[in-house]
């Protein structure tokens, strides 16, 4: 695998900084309960950028992509179980 070009890293950094500014800006906009949804969506975009560029998932083998997908699925299972526990308690 060849490393990504400097242009790719600078573009990713700029995109992450823009998303950071969006996150900061959304904290000053009164969206009530929708703020959390917007910020989680921005965080997902940032995490995807980091995974694709810095972890090089786009150019990795299928096994590495499968391992990353398994990690995401495991995280979703844990979040789902925690949410279920929360619903049962309240």
Confidence of residue 2 (pLDDT cuts 50, 70, 90): low
Residue entry with tokens 């619903």? 87
pTM over 0.85: no
Q: Among 48, 60, 55, 53, which residue's Cα sits nearest to residue 10?
A: 53
Confidence of residue 58 (pLDDT cuts 50, 70, 90): confident
What would the mean pLDDT of 60-89 be, rounded to a whole number? Answer: 95
CA dihedral 42, 38, 72, 66 (to 10 degrees): -50
Condensed to tens digits (0 to 9), the pLDDT of residues 7-52 reads: 999 999 999 999 999 999 999 999 988 999 999 999 999 999 999 9
pLDDT in the model for residue 90: 83
Per-residue DSSP letters for the chain? Answer: -PPPPHHHHHHHHHHHHHHHHHHHHHHHS--TTHHHHHHHHHHHHHHHHHHHHTS-TTTS-HHHHHHHHHHHHHHHHHHHHHHHHHHHH-
């Amino acid at each position: 695998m060849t490393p990504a070009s400097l242009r790719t890293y600078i573009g990713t950094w700029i995109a992450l900084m823009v998303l950071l500014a969006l996150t900061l800006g959304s904290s000053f906009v009164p969206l009530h309960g929708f703020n959390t949804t917007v910020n989680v969506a921005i965080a997902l975009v940032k995490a995807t950028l980091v995974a694709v560029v810095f972890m090089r998932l786009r150019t990795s083998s299928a096994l590495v992509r499968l391992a990353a997908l398994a990690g995401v699925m495991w995280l979703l299972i844990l979040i789902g179980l925690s949410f279920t526990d929360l619903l049962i308690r309240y």
